[in-house]
Each structure stands twice: as structure tokens, then as C-alpha cells.
């Protein structure tokens, strides 16, 4: 069985799971990729177009997703709902301080996750499976692969320290 066929079956399974779990984001992503795969089967210019889009998404989709996520996060500033004063107020409460600490940790995990995905791409599969389970079973958000990879990086690092002793 060729790899593209297995990838299509995997996307179809994910689509079904997304529909069962009522996860619209995952369903839309899987549907879009299945559609592009079907277009690629038509041959000629359409196949070339489909392949170009899939390669582009493979190379830049992650960065585009991060940019869109940041736009969504920063939009309250553009709408005037948040400002510098409200940001400074976060330092006055323990909840604000915990939020700042959590944001700091997430940024560190994200950076380590990006590094792990570069040096050990095979980890992507297991992190994606965990993210999908988290999305379906716990109504989580699909920001998990990068953060999950960062957490995995830290856990691998700790395990390797103990294995050397």
C-alpha cells in the first residue's frame, strides 16, 4: 500500500472521529486536505495545483497557523478591549502572576517543541496522536503539537539524564 493512500485513510478516520467528537476545526482541516488529495487524483494542471498547495501547506502551514493564532490573541488590543494599563494590572493579583508564569512556560515549551520537531521529526506522529485524543476526548484545542513537543522534549531530557547514571 502506498504512503499517500495510507495518509488518505488516516485523514478519513480523523474526519470521522472529528465528526463523532464534534470537533469542527479538526473536521474542517481533514476535509480540506482530503479535498486537495482528491483534486490531485484528477491529473494534469489540477494535480500540479493540488500538489503545490499541499507542499506549501507542509512548508508554511505551521507558521501561518501561528500568525493567525497571534492575530486572534492580539485582536482585543486592536478593538480597544485591552491596553497597557490592563496589562500592568495583571502584576497586582496572584491570578495575573500565575497567568504570566504559565505564558512564560508555554513559550519555553513551544521553543523546545520546535527544536524537537526539527531534530526528531518522528516524534510528530505520537504528539499529533496525543493532541487528537485531547481534542476529541477533552474538547481541547489543536495548539498542542508544538507545546506537546516541548513537554516531550523536557521529559526526554529528564529521562536521558537518569539513563546516563
Give tens-digit pLDDT for 23-80: 788 889 999 999 999 988 888 888 889 999 999 998 898 789 889 988 988 899 899 9
Q: Output the pTM of the full model.
A: 0.67
Tell me how far CA of residue 129 lies from CA of 22, 145, 156, in angstroms. Answer: 17, 9, 18
The H or E element that residue 14 is part of is helix 3-20
Q: Name the average pLDDT for the chain.
A: 84
pLDDT at 146 exceeding the cut of 80: no
DSSP 68-131: HHHHHHHHHHHTTSS-HHHHHHGGGSHHHHHHHHHHHHHHHHHHHHHHHHHH-TTHHHHHHHHH
Percent of the chain at pLDDT exceeding 70: 95
Amino acid at each position: 500500500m502506498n504512503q499517500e493512500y495510507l495518509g488518505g485513510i488516516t485523514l478519513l478516520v480523523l474526519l470521522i472521529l472529528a465528526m463523532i467528537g464534534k470537533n469542527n476545526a479538526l473536521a474542517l482541516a481533514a476535509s480540506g486536505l482530503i479535498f486537495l488529495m482528491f483534486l490531485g487524483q484528477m491529473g494534469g494542471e489540477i494535480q500540479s495545483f493540488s500538489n503545490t498547495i499541499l507542499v506549501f501547506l507542509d512548508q508554511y502551514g505551521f507558521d501561518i497557523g501561528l500568525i493567525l493564532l497571534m492575530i486572534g490573541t492580539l485582536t482585543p488590543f486592536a478593538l480597544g478591549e485591552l491596553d497597557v494599563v490592563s496589562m500592568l494590572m495583571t502584576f497586582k493579583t496572584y491570578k495575573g502572576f500565575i497567568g504570566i508564569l504559565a505564558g512564560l512556560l508555554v513559550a519555553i515549551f513551544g521553543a523546545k517543541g520546535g527544536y524537537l520537531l526539527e531534530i526528531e521529526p518522528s516524534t510528530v506522529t505520537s504528539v499529533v496522536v496525543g493532541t487528537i485524543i485531547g481534542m476529541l476526548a477533552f474538547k481541547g484545542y489543536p495548539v498542542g503539537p508544538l507545546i506537546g513537543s516541548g513537554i516531550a522534549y523536557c521529559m526526554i531530557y529528564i529521562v536521558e539524564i537518569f539513563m546516563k547514571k
